[in-house]
């Protein structure tokens, strides 16, 4: 394939399928990533706080979950979610297959993100001077109030860049969801190739879209980080 034929193929893909790629393809990709990151932040925060608990059993359980998730491939976790989530929630079997697959993949990606975010948040909390907690306790605040009102707000500034990187990583990992045809960009790629038989041109177009999404998000996070530093 020559460079000119590649450009012609890419233009053909864009002109015929831009609505699928720039519409539902991007929408499902960003929605899946957003669900995973928001859910991951919630789970990660609970895990991070739980690891600081005085209960050894709770700490051990959280550490085990985090290590298993971090030590196994994301695609394997998607398969586990796809097969096991409906087993725990039988009512899901009555849903549309695409919707059920989307929910299962979203749950798996959320747990995956939660494991990584928990380490990010834990590091951010530990970076806050312990004297802040001691001062809060001396003023009569409970451990819970000191964590929520004093420590976590300061930790946010430390963890925001890493959370931005996690969002970028999750956007790329949503491509694995195409295994279950949930409608994101790589699913659109498979659908288009099934019609055009032009895998190279379609792959280049989808790759460029992924790059633009991640590049724009990266620049946005850097701008936000600079803004927070300026107002610190």
**Of 167, 181, 175, nearest to 37 (Cα)?**
167
The confidence score (pLDDT) of residue 140 equals 67
pLDDT of residue 125: 76
Cα dihedral 46, 52, 55, 58, rounded to 10, equals 40
Cβ-contact 164, 221 below 8 angstroms: yes
Q: Residue 12: its pLDDT value, please?
A: 92
Q: Which tokens is 202 given?
A: 């379609």
The model's pTM is 0.85
Residues 106, 182: Cα–Cα separation, whole Å: 10
pLDDT of the residue at 108: 94
What pLDDT score was predicted for residue 132? 65
Report the percentage of the chain scoring pLDDT > 70. 90
The pLDDT of residue 54 is 80
What residues of the chain score a pLDDT lower than 50? Answer: none
Distance of alpha carbon 84 from alpha carbon 89, whole angstroms: 9
**Secondary structure of the chain in HEC code, one letter for each residue:** CCHHHHHHHHHHHHHHHHHHHHHHHHHHHHHHHHHHHHHHHHHHHHHHHHCCCCCHHHHHHHHHHHHHHHCCCHHHHHHHHHHHHHHHCHHHHHCCHHHHHHHHHHHHHHHHHHHHHHHHHHHHHHHCCHHHHHHHHHCCCCHHHHHHHHHHHHHHHHHHHHHHHHHHHHHHHHHHHHHHCCCCHHHHHHHHHHHHCCHHHHHHHHHHHHHHHHHHHHHHHHHHHHHHHHCC
Residue 133: predicted pLDDT: 67
């Amino acid at each position: 394939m020559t460079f000119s034929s590649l450009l012609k193929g890419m233009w053909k893909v864009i002109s015929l399928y831009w609505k699928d790629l720039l519409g539902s393809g991007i929408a499902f990709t960003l929605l899946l990533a957003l669900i995973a990151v928001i859910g991951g932040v919630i789970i990660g925060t609970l895990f991070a706080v739980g690891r600081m608990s005085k209960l050894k059993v709770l700490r051990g359980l959280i550490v085990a979950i985090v290590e298993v998730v971090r030590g196994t491939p994301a695609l394997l976790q998607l398969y586990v979610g796809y097969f096991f989530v409906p087993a725990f929630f039988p009512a899901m079997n009555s849903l549309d297959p695409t919707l059920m697959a989307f929910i299962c993949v979203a749950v798996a990606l959320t747990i995956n993100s939660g494991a990584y975010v928990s380490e990010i948040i834990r590091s951010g909390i530990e970076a806050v001077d312990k004297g802040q907690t001691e001062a809060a306790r001396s003023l009569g605040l409970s451990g819970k109030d000191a964590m929520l009102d004093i420590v976590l707000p300061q930790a946010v500034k430390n963890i925001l860049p890493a959370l931005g990187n996690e969002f970028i990583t999750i956007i790329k990992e949503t491509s694995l969801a195409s295994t279950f045809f949930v409608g994101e960009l790589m699913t659109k790629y498979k659908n288009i190739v099934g019609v055009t038989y032009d895998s190279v041109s379609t792959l280049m177009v989808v790759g460029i879209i992924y790059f633009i999404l991640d590049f724009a998000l990266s620049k946005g996070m850097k701008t936000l980080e600079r803004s927070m530093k300026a107002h610190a």
